[in-house]
Amino acid sequence: MLKGACYVRVSTDNQLENYSIEEQTGRLQAFCRAKDITPVKFYTDGGYSGGNTNRPALQQMLADIDAGAIDVVIVYKLDRLSRSQKDTLMLIEDKFMANHVDFISVNENFDTTTPFGRAMIGILSVFAQLEKDQITERFTMGRIGRAKNGLYHGGPTAPTGYDYVDGRLIVNEYEALQVRDLYGRFAKGHTLHNCWRYMQDTYVTKYGAWTSETLVRHVLQNDVYIGMVKFQGKSYRGIHEPIIPVELYDTVQDIFANSRRDAPSFKRSPFKAATLLSGLIFCGRCGARYHGEHGNYTCYSRSKGSRKNIVDPDCKNRKWKIPELDAYITEYIAGLGFEDIPERKQAAAPRDHSRRIAEIDKQILNLIDLYQLGSIPMETISGRIDALTMEKNSLAEEMRQEPPSAPTREDYLKFKNRFLDLLENGDLQEKRACLANMVERIVIDGDRIDMVLR
């Protein structure tokens, strides 16, 4: 009696009845009884797309075939094995037939024990691949059409500043205020880093906090805010209301275009403050920031000057006179030689998003499977595919960008010398910008002062 391996696959838990695990299993059991085949094992991949062979049950079946435990592989329908022409032929020819294992598809009523069956498998796999490609093409054409009609194609994940309502972008007034504030600050010369710190400390959005400089950069370079929509690298005039004037947007893009990676960033000032060290000092006891008030640098938790910045209302960490702490830090900076910083620039390691991109591709294939099976209409899943595509493109663009080079000892000495030159009559904001390029944070714990360099 032949030893049969029954392979079952569904793309998601929401399948049509005749594609469910139970239905496929029942039909395969009946087929094995009718053909006098002993089903050695049912190999079930639940929630896996047929677009690739990276499926645990399939891989286990292939291992059992290599071990000689299988005589024939039975599936309910050819596309349960794979939707890829290349993978279908590879599995049958290189894995099954190479190990003298036959293949039977119950629904199509043929098997590899006959020349006609082998020919039909090749033909059907071609049409399975063709159908998948046509569906993908229809989705792509639909998204291009939406973009040309001015409709946002990112799905329900609307950009900060907008809400996604009935398929369109609607201005979220509170978030729009944040976006305008960000553009205004950056256009006035504040650094990207300090814009991020300001946004993080000041605002929240429907997605939570302003979590990274990357998010700030993305908002500053997204032309959706001047009424455009983008697809596959092309921008089209959108039907949604702009948040930012074109002139302000162009100014911000010019700043990005004109800023060289190696140019000393003291030319751009951080957010304005009345004291030299504001924004750099942190409490070593409760973790709150220090700020300048009434001649002293004081922990926010102790001064109660800003409710949102209080971490521990009982904190009693020491106050420092502003001139005294400024002089101490200035003297320390003046004595630095940065001997441990290498002369040669070392590029930062690029961020690798390949794993997430592969996951997105898998999710898109699953959604296409659902449409092909008729489980969910195209209109319902189109938005989700658009959102996934936008995320994938954003991650791919980030991977293509060359990471910034690490500052050298020469760069740090430029910052230091510029800072010392400004001490007498220089602009406070330029002094602060020079410090921000050298100093990550200053931590105060009573009389102890720890300075963390960048």
Residue-by-residue DSSP string for 112-147: TTSHHHHHHHHHHHHHHHHHHHHHHHHHHHHHHHHH
3-state secondary structure of 44: strand
Contact 248, 227 (CB under 8 A): no
303 closest CA partner among 340, 332, 278, 269: 278
Reported pTM: 0.36
pLDDT score of 147: 66
Contact 311, 288 (CB under 8 A): yes
Backbone torsions φ then ψ of 412, nearest 5 degrees: -60, -40
Query: Exposure string (b/e) for 280-296, b if CB count within 10 Å is 16 or more?
Result: bbbbbbbebbbbbbeeb
Q: Are strands 37-46 and 296-299 parallel, antiparallel or unpaired?
A: unpaired
pLDDT score of 369: 65
- Residue 149 neighbours by CB under 8 Å, 6+ apart: 239
Contact 50, 83 (CB under 8 A): yes
62 closest CA partner among 75, 89, 85, 43: 43
Q: Are strands 72-75 and 2-10 parallel, antiparallel or unpaired?
A: parallel
pLDDT score of 145: 63
CA dist 60 → 85, 257, 295 (Å) = 21, 53, 72
Residue position matching structure tokens 């209301």: 241
Backbone torsions φ then ψ of 178, nearest 5 degrees: -65, -45
d(CA 387, CA 231): 11
pLDDT score of 320: 94
- Residue 229 neighbours by CB under 8 Å, 6+ apart: 147, 150, 151, 152, 153, 235, 236, 237, 238, 240
Contact 268, 195 (CB under 8 A): no
DSSP alpha helix (H) spans, 149-172: none
H or E element, residue 38: strand 37-46
Show contacts of 291-299: CB within 8 Å, 24+ apart. 292/322, 295/321, 295/322, 296/320, 296/321, 296/322, 297/321, 297/322, 297/325, 297/444, 299/444
Q: Are strands 2-10 and 37-46 parallel, antiparallel or unpaired?
A: parallel
The residues that bridge with 38 in the sheet, in sequence order, are: 3
What token pair was written down for 380? 């319902």
Contact 266, 421 (CB under 8 A): no
Q: In the chain, what is the straight-line distance between the N-terminal and C-terminal CA atoms, in Å?
A: 72
Run means of pLDDT, 10 residues per run, the chain, 454 residues: 92 57 92 92 89 91 94 91 80 88 86 74 69 67 66 72 85 92 88 86 87 87 88 78 91 74 40 75 91 89 82 92 92 82 58 80 73 59 69 71 64 81 77 81 92 81
Give, to the nearest 10 degrees, the angle between helix 409-422 and helix 428-438.
150
